[in-house]
A and B are shown apart, each in its own frame.
Chain A
Amino acid sequence: MRSNKLHSVAAIFDKPDKIIHAAEKVRDGGYKKFDVNTPYPVHGMENAMGLSHSKVGFVTLFFGLFGGSFILLFMWWTLANSYPLFIGGKPFFALPAFIPITFETTVLIGSVATFIALIAVFFKLPFNNHPLHDTNYMKKVSVDRYGINILTEDDKFDKDEILKLFDSLGAESTELIYEPKIEKYGMFNVKFILLLIFIAAGTSASTYILLNKLMYITPFDWMEFQEKITPQESSLFFADRRSMRDPVNGTVARGFIPYPYKGVKNPKQVLANPTLPTIENLKLGKEKYLTFCSPCHGNFAEGDSRLNGQFPNGPTLHSAKIINYEDGRIYHIITNGQNSMPAYDRQITRQERWAIVDYVRVLQRAENAKKSDLVEIKKESSANGQ
Chain B
Amino acid sequence: MSLDYTKEMVQFTRNPEIAELDEVISKPLDTNPSKKYFIALAFTSGLMVLGFICIAITFYFGIGAWGNNQTIAWGFGITNFVFWVGIAHAGTLISAILYLLRQRWRNAIARFAEAMTIFAVICAGLFPIIHVGRPWLAGYLIPYPNAMNIWPNFISPLDWDVFAVSTYFTVSLLFWYLGLVPDFATLRDRTKDKVKKLVYTFFSLGWRHSSRHWKDYEKAYMIFAGLATPLVLSVHTVVSFDFAAAILPGWHSTIFPPYFVAGAIFSGFAMVVTALVVMRKVFDLENIITLNHLEKMNKIILLTGSMVGYAYLMEAFISWYSGVPTEQYVAINRAFGDYAWGYWIMVSCNAFIPQFFWFKKIRRSIPAMFIVVILVNVGMWFERFVIIVSSLHRDFLPSSWTYFTPSLVDLGILIGSFGLFFTLVLVFTRTMPVVAMSEIKGVVEGAQPSHNGGTN
Contacts and interface: CB of A to CB of B under 8 A. Distances in A.
| A and B part of one assembly | yes
Interface of A: 15-17, 19-20, 23, 35-49, 51, 54, 56-57, 60, 74-75, 78-79, 82-83, 87-88, 90, 94, 97-98, 100-101, 103-105, 107-108, 110-112, 114-115, 118-119, 122-123, 125-130, 132-133, 138-139, 141-144, 219-220
A105 B162 CA distance: 11
Contacts of A46: 211, 215
B438 A40 contact: yes
A62 B456 CA distance: 31
Given A40-B439, A101-B159, A108 B206 contact: no
5 contacts: A43-B449, A79-B155, A101-B160, A104-B234, A104-B238
Contacts of B149: 82-83
Given A54-B215, A79-B154, A114-B224, A133 B206 contact: yes
B17 interface: yes
B185 A142 contact: yes
A229 to B, nearest CB: 20
B292 interface: no
B448 A16 contact: yes
Most buried by A among B159, B241, B446, B449: B449
B214 A100 contact: no
B186 A143 contact: yes
Contact of B18 (A36, A39, A49, A94): A39
Classify chain B: how many residues form its interface, as a range.
Answer: 35 or more
B219 A41 contact: no
B210 A41 contact: no
A126 B184 CA distance: 13
Interface stretch (B44-52, B164-172, B275-283): B164-172
Most buried by B among A19, A38, A105, A220: A38
Given A35-B210, A43-B448, A219 B136 contact: yes
A129 B447 CA distance: 30
Interface of B: 17-19, 22, 59, 134, 136, 143, 149-157, 159-160, 163-164, 166-167, 170-171, 174-175, 178, 182, 185-186, 188-190, 201-202, 205-220, 223-224, 227, 230-231, 234, 237-238, 241, 437-439, 441-442, 446-452, 454-456
A130 B206 CA distance: 8
A44 B439 CA distance: 16
B210 A56 contact: no
B227 A107 contact: yes
Contact of B205 (A51, A98, A108, A126): A126
Contact of A125 (B207, B218, B234): B207
Contacts of A17: 449-450, 452
Given A100-B241, A101-B160, A141-B209, A108 B150 contact: no
B151 A16 contact: no
A98 B211 CA distance: 42
Contacts of B238: 100, 104
Most buried by B among A40, A94, A98: A40
Nearest to A61: B223
Contacts of B206: 125-130, 133
Contacts of B449: 16-17, 19-20, 42-44
Given A40-B447, A83-B150, A138-B189, 10 more contacts: A44-B449, A51-B215, A54-B216, A56-B219, A56-B223, A87-B155, A88-B155, A104-B164, A123-B216, A219-B134
B235 to A, nearest CB: 8
A45 B210 CA distance: 11
A118 B456 contact: no
A37 B163 contact: no
Nearest to A120: B205
A101 B234 CA distance: 10
B219 A111 contact: no
Nearest to B201: A128
Contacts of A75: 154
Contacts of A98: 154-155
Contacts of B212: 35-36, 49, 51
Given A87-B155, A119-B205, A111 B174 contact: yes
A52 to B, nearest CB: 9
Most buried by B among A39, A74, A82: A39
Contacts of A15: 446
A138 B200 CA distance: 15
Contacts of A79: 151, 153-155
A359 to B, nearest CB: 54
A39 B441 contact: yes
A39 B241 contact: no
A46 B206 CA distance: 22
A105 B218 CA distance: 23
Nearest to A48: B455
A39 B438 contact: yes
Given A51-B212, A104-B164, A111 B224 contact: yes
Contacts of A44: 449, 451, 454-456
Contacts of B175: 111
A359 B190 CA distance: 111
Contact of A43 (B17, B190, B456): B456
Contacts of B22: 143-144
B154 A78 contact: yes
Contacts of B216: 54, 56, 118, 122-123
A94 B155 contact: yes
A98 B160 CA distance: 9
A97 B156 CA distance: 8
Nearest to A46: B215
Nearest to B60: A219
A130 to B, nearest CB: 6
B151 A123 contact: no
A57 B219 contact: yes
B186 A142 contact: yes
Contact of B211 (A36, A90, A115): A36
Nearest to A96: B155
B245 to A, nearest CB: 9
A38 B211 contact: yes
B170 A108 contact: yes
B209 A39 contact: yes
A51 B212 CA distance: 8
Nearest to B235: A104
